[in-house]
Amino acid sequence: MSIDEVSLSKGELYTFVTSKQGKGKTGTIVAMIASTESGKINSVLEKIPIAKRLQVKEITLDMAANMASAARSSFPNARIVTDRFHVVKLVLEALQHVRIKYRWEAIAKENEAIKAAKQNGKKYHPEIFSNGDTLKQLLTRSRFLLFKHETAWTISQQHRSVILFSKYPLLKKAYQYAVQFRNIYENHNSGNAKKQFIEWIEIITSQTELAEFNSAARSIGHHLENILNFFTNRNTNANAESFNSKIKLFRAKQKGVRDVDFFLFRLEKLFG
């Protein structure tokens, strides 16, 4: 099973508990709860007979503590699995944060240079790199290459990465840390994965210049037990994310949600 939050209307969040066996069709929705508080989620899920809840062997979710608490309480026999993609996303967000920080610094320096040029009655001409980018453009256009493994870079991205990493060696180090982290998930043995996760966390937390990665590493350390459960069956929360997209598409076809209760009623009839 999977548990995830969905925004239906006006930013209001609902918790959806779904069955992977439903495959996004009839029998997918187990519960729709108008709250993300673990106590309220439990109060609804406890209406399901305990005998049925004890049959659930595994439940996937994101890194939200309230979801983990609700899942653990409502499905006591279930293995709690923190979704792989949410964990990797956390590390990639730390990497992008480093890039964005440099970008804002570049914007501030360019503004100062433009101001100084005007005061001297001159026109400002930014530095142009060999690929045609200015420094600001270099940092903006590097967003997508940082998401990809270097083996998947295009020729222009390879060229841009050489310039980027020569200008910002710390960003290169951050990128290498992100790649190392993603490679851990290639393991098929939880023991090896645990060893590599711990080693990665120790390396990151010893670095004082990458505060963003420090925060990500500490969060991963707190969730490590549930993260390691992924390596048992290698299940992810992809089915829940896919079902969320299906709900959003259904909502768009209805041109929004005017009556939430009726919309939920229709979802229950279609996917319950």
pLDDT digits (tens, 9 = 90+) for 74-112: 999 999 999 999 999 999 999 999 999 999 999 999 999
Is a pLDDT exceeding 80 seen at residue 217?
Answer: yes
pLDDT band at 207 (very low <50, low <70, confident <90, very high): confident
In angstroms, the CA 196 to CA 194 distance is 5
Is a pLDDT exceeding 80 seen at residue 10?
Answer: no
22 DSSP assignment: G
Class of domain 2-83+236-271: alpha beta
21 DSSP assignment: G
Is a pLDDT exceeding 80 seen at residue 11?
Answer: no
pLDDT band at 241 (very low <50, low <70, confident <90, very high): confident
Residues contacting residue 243 through CB under 8 Å, at least 6 positions apart: 16, 18, 24, 28, 271
Residue 188's SS3 state is coil
Least confident of 84-93, 115-124, 176-185: 115-124
Domain boundaries defined on the chain: 2-83+236-271, 85-232
Q: What's this model's pTM, rounded to 2 decimal places?
A: 0.87
Residue 24 to residues 17, 52, 200, Cα–Cα distance (Å): 12, 21, 36
